[in-house]
Amino acid sequence: MNNRLRYISISHKYASLHMREQYHFSDTEKKLWAEKIRSNFKDISGLLILVTCNRTELYFESEVTGAAQLRDFIIDHTDGQKADLKRAYFAISDDTQETVHHILEVSSGLASSVLGDAEIIHQIKMAYWESCHNGMQGSLLERCMQSVFKGHKRISNETGFRDGTTSVAYKTLKLIASTFDSTDKDALNILFIGAGDIVKQLLNYNNKFGFKSVFVANRTAKKAEELTRKFGGKTYSWDRVLANDFKKFQVIVTAVSNCPGLVRQVEKGKGHTLLLDLAVPGNIDKRLKNEPHVIHYNLDTIAKALKENHESRMKSISQVDSIIQEELQEYLAWLNDAPVRNFLASYKKDVNQWVTSYLQLKGHAVEDTTTRLAVNRIVRQSFKQQGTKVPEREMELIVEEYI
């Protein structure tokens, strides 16, 4: 097998929020992309599509198809205009070692706009679940994910890198609390628009903040009702959201996919209205940030505000780097052993057939237990000899020990 693990990435590191929005795929779009890629690139045996607020990345396992080829395919089928210019916004690699190192950094939070981001690992798990569901985990990708999950656990247990506020949802609630610190929590009306992961996290974290008057609106009313039953709060009509009927709310948090310009106007009330746009593409009309009665945050401005406990996390970076390097070396050791493993898998079948024939030739009963023990012993001996065949005389002596 000459497969390599490769990746392409567009992220906050090289691209603005406006550029990233063009390649931010919804759940439905991710499924369509997976089907399109599988049908156009037959040699791709593993594919993981990771889409977060700050990055869209594709990790894939192939023998021939290169990262540049897949990047250009995505650009051409998204918006082929100025393709040469848009290539500069992507990072790519065809090297398995570089790819594994990259996803280890991404999963750790080292590559996040918010250092130590605690949400990224959940997003990777969901992306990998989708790969497995589609039968596109691939052997190189599957082993890479084992390294990612093990590395994440070690970083959480062995370092202080996860300490402090590293969640966009948590920081959003802190911004609400600090903006209205003198307001009675019972009198503050908050509207969450959406029902995805970010809104679930907001509602879950609200147990610590204690905001009493929380409303949830979503295109699918049933999902909003399920969230309010689980976490508390009330539902708000989607029709009223579309009508921009927000008179009763001092805080509006949006996190809806594929709804640009959903919030276009906010009436002036007694005080300020806090708008927090957590969607990509953004849900809130950018012109609203110029309104004197509006305080506006989007993902980029929230990320800049998320610098609490930064010093503590910075001190842990060297430990995180060490863990990443250790997991990478384990992966490379596994990769280097692949030819031996492939040989042993095939050799074991041959050995099983030889042992069965030998027992029959000697007039012994062919018993499963005897055969299994002898075969495993011979294969282990081959492994010790770096994947070379065990001489027949030596195999005969091994089998004789079990009969």
Q: Where are the domains of the chain?
A: 4-164+313-336, 186-305, 342-400
124's CB contacts (< 8 A; 6+ apart) are 50, 103, 106, 107, 145, 148
Q: How big is the CA angle at 188 (ends 183 and 193), to the nearest 5 degrees?
A: 140
- Pick the more confident residue, 84 or 126: 126
Q: Are strands 251-254 and 189-193 parallel, antiparallel or unpaired?
A: parallel
Q: Is the domain covering 186-305 a CATH 3.40.50.720 domain? A: yes
How far does CA 217 lie from the centroid of its chain? 26
Instruction: Supply the DSSP symbol for 289.
Output: G
Residue carrying structure tokens 């040699």 = 43
Query: Model confidence over 350-389: pLDDT tens digits?
Result: 888 998 898 888 888 878 788 888 888 888 888 788 778 8
Can you give the pLDDT at residue 174?
Answer: 87
Averaged pLDDT score across all residues of the chain = 89
Write the burial class of residue 395 (CB in 10 Å: 0-12 exposed, 13-18 middle, 19+ buried): buried
What is the pLDDT, as a whole number, of residue 348? 86
| pLDDT digit string, tens, across residues 292-327 | 999 999 988 887 766 655 666 778 899 999 999 999
pLDDT for 339: 78
Count CB neighbours of 32 within 10 A.
12
Quote the CA–CA distance of 49 and 28 in Å, as a whole number: 12
* Distant-in-sequence, close-in-space partners of 193: CB < 8 Å, separation ≥ 6: 216, 217, 218, 241, 252, 253, 254, 255, 256, 262, 263, 283
Lowest-pLDDT range of 5-9, 30-34, 368-372, 393-397 = 368-372
Distances (CA, A) of 373 to 85, 143, 370, 378, 398: 62, 28, 5, 9, 10
313 within 8 A of 178, measured Cβ to Cβ = no
- Residue 30 CB-density burial (10 A; 0-12 exposed, 13-18 middle, 19+ buried): middle
**pLDDT over threshold 60, residue 57:** yes
- Evaluate the CA torsion angle 296, 260, 242, 214 in order and state its sign: negative
User: Per-residue confidence at 183, pLDDT binned at 50, 70, 90?
Assistant: confident
pLDDT for the residue 309: 57
Amino acid at 74: I
pLDDT band at 191 (very low <50, low <70, confident <90, very high): very high
Using CB atoms within 10 A of its CB, is residue 139 exposed (0-12), middle (13-18) or buried (19+)? middle
List for the chain the helix, strand, coil content (%; round to 5). 55, 15, 35
| The domain made up of 4-164+313-336 is a member of CATH 3.90.950.10 | no
